[in-house]
Amino acid sequence: MRNLLLFCGILMLGACTHPSPQKPLSAVLEQERIEVPKGRSGVAPSEIRVAVVPTMPSDYEGIPVGTTPEGCPTLGSDTPQITIHVFSDIQCPYCNQAHFKLVEWVRKHPRELQLVYHHFPLSFHQYANNYARQAVCAAEQGQFWPVLADLFRSGYRPMDLRTLAKRHQMQAQEFIRCTANQASQLTVDRDLAEGKRLNVRGTPSFFVDNLSLNYVDLENLLKAKLKE
């Protein structure tokens, strides 16, 4: 991953970039290439409340989970044929679509695929940075992927963080303390820095074997490699 030097691709289903009402598609895609996060939302993590929507039992059942040596969450094989690195923003609707599509791929091919998740909250999404921190803190208690799914599905409706912690059998006080701790921000900042180094300028962005791919090309690659 550290050797990736190519620019990032754009999800052809859409991409989260700086809002540009009434722009033609070509202009939106160009905006995707020039928009980068400019800062944090400034909203205290303890002020963010989320609605919890049940995670579908089939989402992750039977799929191996782990972390990279750098600490990034992984889903799928630890000896994969194909490793997909995704830079994602939890408040981005296109990231939402891509996430569950990729989870389905990994669910169908858990021995061949590995998904590596990198946080890339965009500055104009008010709650994205704090959602990322919540996911980081869920990872500390072994609940990253189920909590990530709930955050993606939440619709960003209010719910107390204690409820989120209870639903996923996490220690509530530890979870809430973690979201306010600078260490969780440093983890998000690490991913942001890696994304910027790779010229990620919008979400979701995908990398496979030193190559930057848009979502259509990614699916075509998976179909070819996995003979679907």
Is residue 17, in this structure, part of any structural domain at all? no
Q: List the domain range (segments joined by +) for residue 168.
A: 25-226
**Residue 93 clears pLDDT 60, i.e. is over it:** yes
CATH number of the domain encompassing residue 161: 3.40.30.10
What is the pLDDT confidence band of residue 160, given thresholds at 50, 70 and 90? confident
pLDDT at 35: 39
Q: What is the DSSP letter of 208?
A: E
Q: Give the integer Cα–Cα distance in Å for 71 and 195.
A: 15
Does the pLDDT value for residue 183 go beyond 60? yes
Report the domain count for the chain: 1
Per-residue pLDDT band at 157 (split at 50, 70, 90): low
Distance (Å, rounded) from C-alpha 26 to C-alpha 42? 32
Greater model confidence, 109 or 7? 109
**Helix 182-197 with 172-180: angle, nearest 10 deg:** 50
Q: Domain for residue 122, yes or no?
A: yes
- pLDDT for 14 equals 59
Residue 1: inside a domain, yes or no?
Answer: no
Predicted pLDDT at 13: 55
β-pair partners for 50: none
Per-residue pLDDT, averaged over 117-128, amounts to 94
Residue 172 lies in a domain: yes
Taken as a whole, the chain contains a residue count of 228
| pTM of the predicted model over 0.85 | no
Q: What is the DSSP string of 37-75?
A: --S-----GGG------PPPTTTTTT--EEE-TT--EEE
Helix (H) / strand (E) element for 173: namely helix 172-180
Q: How far apart are CA 89 and CA 221, in angstroms?
A: 23
171: in domain: yes
End-to-end CA separation in angstroms for the chain: 26
Token pair 């998740």 is found at 117
Residue 144 covered by a domain? yes
Residue 13 lies in a domain: no
